[in-house]
Amino acid sequence: MAKIKNNFNDLGPKEWLPFQKSFTLFETMESLIQSNLKFFIKPSLSPAPNVLSFGQDDFQSMFQKTAQNLNVNSTKTSFDFLALDLTNPIHLQAGIDWAIENGKNLNYRKFMWILVPTDLMSKNNSPIAWELSNQFAGFLTRKDEKIICHPDGHTWTSLYFRKDEHSLFQNYPSIESTHQASTQSTHHLQNWFILKPKPRSKDQILHPAKYPEELVRMYLEEFTKKGDTVFDPMSGTGTTQVEALNLGRHAFGIELSELFHGIANKRCAEISTQNHYSIFLGDSRNILNFEIPELDYIITSPPYWDMLNMKGAEVQANRKSKGLQTNYSDNKNDLGNLDDYTKFLDVLTEIYQNTTQKLKSGGHLTIVVKNIKKKGEHFPLAFDLTNRLISFLEFKHVAFWCQDDLQIAPYGYKHTFVSNTFHHYCITFQKT
């Protein structure tokens, strides 16, 4: 078989793979710029590729220096890579104008990188990075994102767009006004964390997507006190309830699958506690029909759309070979079986709307969720859900749960950029 040529960049497999991890631990601005430039251009081409950047002076000069070292041009009128640094919000409007003007002149299948602090808020009090992502998706083609994790705790979001046959060149992005999030700093929560969960028990392995006890504990300690009542409308193996009971909270929940409902109840029964717990078997769309008391806090994670039904996904094939369940259930009420994205969002929103009717005023809801790539398209589930929820809840905080114990797959190798999504959004809202 003929060896496929790498027409995308000059990297070998060892350098290609680490860049594909969807989160990066920040070292220096110089190394961040260098890793992006080296990934998105092919300096060995003749004539040399053209690149352009916009942003703070030091970003610009570092970018130009790195480009020069790679023997790349930075003066022409059509581009092989564009980099927009919005780490200083005063450049926001000028930066957007620059991106629109030059984005039209990107060469075919070439990328634009936008770097934005995650805690920069838009007028409607949700992260600007997410709004920019949505707005630029109506202009170029939204391809991917990476989270830049700083040692001092804050994060930047790297957004990646490509000019290709799907680019619309409509909806020129415009963002009205901004303010730095004050909410992010009022919590003791970290803004990003890497967890190494304990090995799972035999029962817990049956579930294709449980979240770690350590994560739930962090949030319960932040948002609840002893004697409070905690709820999870999609309880799975009962991780929420187990940690809540362990910390002296009352624990309630709903779970649709009989199998997981059984596992969750068994886990709770093994805990010696005086506190109340009850996990109902059923559809959380009907939460208002269940006997659930007033809630102090809700933490939950939905099916990540119908991704578990996607045949051929590597994890799925691996689970199948071990005789493990690859999806939650075949039940038509299982949200993981809804293949229409808008319908899935509608139903999920309805569940959270009904669930938060039981939440006391001032109480918080934390949702653990991922953005999704399906058949080459990027579906920003975290952003889309937030957009809907801020019509009845207040956005309070986002943290990234980064997974560092997964094997990286060489998606798009020699061809294009497709990251391995190793970060989850933990988004907290407050009922006012």
CB of 329 to ligand SAM, least distance (A): 6
Distance CA 411, CA 135 (A): 26
With respect to ligand SAM, which residue has the nearer C-beta, 119 or 306?
A: 306
CB of 192 to ligand SAM, least distance (A): 20
Closest residue to ligand SAM using C-beta atoms: 236
* Residue 132: HSE in the Cβ half-sphere, 13 Å Cα cutoff: 33
Phi, psi (degrees; rounded to nearest 5) at 310: -75, 110
With respect to ligand SAM, which residue has the nearer C-beta, 163 or 285?
A: 285
CB of 194 to ligand SAM, least distance (A): 18
Distance CA 240, CA 399 (A): 18
**What is the token pair recorded at 49?**
């590729």
CB of 193 to ligand SAM, least distance (A): 17
Question: Who contacts 186 (Cβ-Cβ below 8 Å, separation ≥6)?
Answer: none
With respect to ligand SAM, which residue has the nearer C-beta, 304 or 429?
A: 304
With respect to ligand SAM, which residue has the nearer C-beta, 173 or 236?
A: 236
With respect to ligand SAM, which residue has the nearer C-beta, 105 or 333?
A: 333
With respect to ligand SAM, which residue has the nearer C-beta, 149 or 351?
A: 351
Residue 322: Cβ-neighbour burial (10 angstroms; 0-12, 13-18, 19+):
exposed
CB of 337 to ligand SAM, least distance (A): 8
CB of 221 to ligand SAM, least distance (A): 17
With respect to ligand SAM, which residue has the nearer C-beta, 260 or 277?
A: 260
CB of 297 to ligand SAM, least distance (A): 14
Residue with tokens 């929560």: 189
Positions touching ligand SAM (CB under 6 A) are 207, 209-211, 234, 236-237, 239, 254-257, 260, 283-285, 301-303, 328-329, 333-336
With respect to ligand SAM, which residue has the nearer C-beta, 304 or 395?
A: 304
At 9, the amino acid letter reads N
Phi, psi (degrees; rounded to nearest 5) at 366: -115, 130
Task: Reduce the DSSP state of residue 259 to 3 states and report it.
Answer: helix
Peptide bond into 47 cis (omega under 30): yes
In angstroms, the Cα distances linking 194 to 191, 209, 269 are: 11, 17, 30
Task: Reduce the DSSP state of residue 25 to 3 states and report it.
Answer: strand
SS3 content of the chain, % helix, strand, coil (to 5): 30, 25, 40
* Residue 348: HSE in the Cβ half-sphere, 13 Å Cα cutoff: 29
**What is the token pair recorded at 400?**
């990234």
